[in-house]
Amino acid sequence: MNRRQFIRLFSQGLLGAGLMPALIEAAEPDDKRRLQFVFAQIKYRGGDWNPHPLSVTPLMEELMARTSVEAASARREVTLGDGDLFNYPFLYLAGRYEFDPFSQEEIETLRRFLTYGGFLLIDDALGQQGYGFDKAVRREMQRIFPGNDFKRLPSGHAALRSYYLLRRIGGVRIASPNLEGINVGPSTPVIYCQNDLGGAWERDQVGKWTNACTPGGEAQRKDAFHLGINIILYAMTENYKDDLIHVPFIRKRLTR
């Protein structure tokens, strides 16, 4: 039973006892609620596409517990050649090692995907700039968006404010205190983290954390979850938090 199911059962119990207002009942999803979000992870050739096989479910549980997003708890594994790739506008690309170059058709597909509204989160489990996975990622991104390099995301980027007001970037290790991204027009459809986010999200079968987060420990892990949630909400709401109506509230909270 996940947290959300527990809350639902608990609420129904309270309702039965007449202790909770109908308001809460109304807010509960019915059984036919659709899953709005599916975490799709790219399988690629060469390297290691799956460094943390159990990382997604903890993140999805956290996402559903903290936000109104209805998400599938398990990830969806896709290849860039899958016919239903565009059913999943959020893609996750992770790895430790250098992988084989994408085919030209895959490059075209990914360019189309990212240009017209899709989103890609890249997570480097190795955390070595210029080596292994990082080297392959930068190479492939140059093929997809020639001349459009990764740029450091500014501290005020909407992805860092889409739910939590983030001041730090979490992960298993702090290989980089900043996120990088590729901008296309007013949005950033590619965000790249080198801190091994998946490693921080991952639990084993009995619920223990697979990897220790250093040097920040559990606070650093919490930051990794917060970042994961923020990036997912950013993908689903784009620059929503840059809308004028949010700016004075966010500015006020950040200056406290």
Partner 1 sequence: MNDFYLIGALPWWLVALVGIGATALLVQQFINLRQRLALGQTVFLTFLRACVYAGLVFFLLGPALIDKRVTKLRRPLTLLIDTSQSMGFPASAKTAPGDKTAKSRLDLVRDKLEAGQAPLIQKLNRDYDLRVIRFGTSLEPVAPGSLARLRPQDPGTRLLELLQRATRDPAARSGVIVFSDGITNGEMQSLDGAGALAAPVFTVGVGDTEGFTDVRIAKFGAPEFAFRGREFKIDLTVQAFGMKGRSVPLFFNRGKNLITTRTIAIDADPFEQKVTLSFTPKELGTHAFSVSIPAQPNEQITQNNRKEFKVDVRRDKIRVLTLSGSPAWNYRFLRMAMKQDPLIELVSFVFLRTPTDTVDVPENQLSLIPFPIDDIFLEELKNFDVIVLDDFSHRAYFNPVYLERVRDYVRDGGGLAMLGGSRAFDSGGYGDSALREVLPVELDGKGNYQARGNVHAALTAAGKAHPITRLLPDPKSNEETWSKLPELTGLNQVRGVRGETLLTAAGDGTQSNAPLLAVGRFGKGRTLALMTDDAWRWNFIAVGKKETPQNHLKLIRQAVRWLAQEPAFEQVQLYPIPTPQPAEKVTIKLKVLNDDYTPTRQASIQLRVFSPEGEPTLVSTGPDGEEGEYSGDFTPTKEGTYRVEAEASAGGKTLGKDKTSFTAAFSYGETDDGLPRPDLLKKIAEASKGEYLSINDWNEKSFEKIAARLEAIAPSEIVEQRQTRLWSNLWPFGVILALLSVEWWMRRKWGLI
Contacts with partner 1 by CB under 8 A lie at 3-4, 7-8, 11, 23-24, 26-30, 32-34, 36-37, 65-70, 85-87, 89, 109, 112-113, 116-118, 161-165, 186, 222, 226, 232-233, 235-238, 240-241, 243, 245-246, 249-250, 253, 256
In terms of CB distance, is 118 or 127 closer to partner 1?
Answer: 118
173: part of which helix (H) or strand (E)?
Answer: none
How far apart (Å, rounded) are the C-alpha atoms in residues 216 and 193?
A: 17
CB of 118 to partner 1, least distance (A): 7
CB atoms within 10 A of CB 173: 20
> Which of residues 93 and 233 has its CB atom nearest to partner 1 in the complex?
233
Cis status, amide bond into 215, omega within 30 of 0: yes
Rank residues 12 and 97 by Cβ distance to partner 1 and give the closer one. 12
Residues contacting 203, CB < 8 A, separation 6+: 54, 57, 58, 209, 210
Minimum Å gap between C-beta 88 and partner 1 is 10
Minimum distance from residue 81 beta carbon to partner 1 (Å): 12
How far is residue 251 CA from its own chain's centroid?
24
Would you say 116 or 214 has its CB closer to partner 1? 116
Closer residue to partner 1 in complex, CB, 17/23: 23
d(CA 193, CA 12) in angstroms, rounded, equals 40
The residue (of 46 and 81) whose beta carbon lies closer to partner 1 is 81
Cross-strand bridge partners of residue 182? 190
The residues near 251 (Cβ < 8 Å, ≥ 6 apart) are none
Q: How far apart are CA 127 and CA 97, in angstroms?
A: 10
CA-based nearest residue to 41, from 95, 100, 91: 91
Least Å from the CB of residue 251 to partner 1:
11
Q: How far is the CB of 39 from partner 1 (least distance, A)?
A: 13
Q: How far is the CB of 128 from partner 1 (least distance, A)?
A: 31
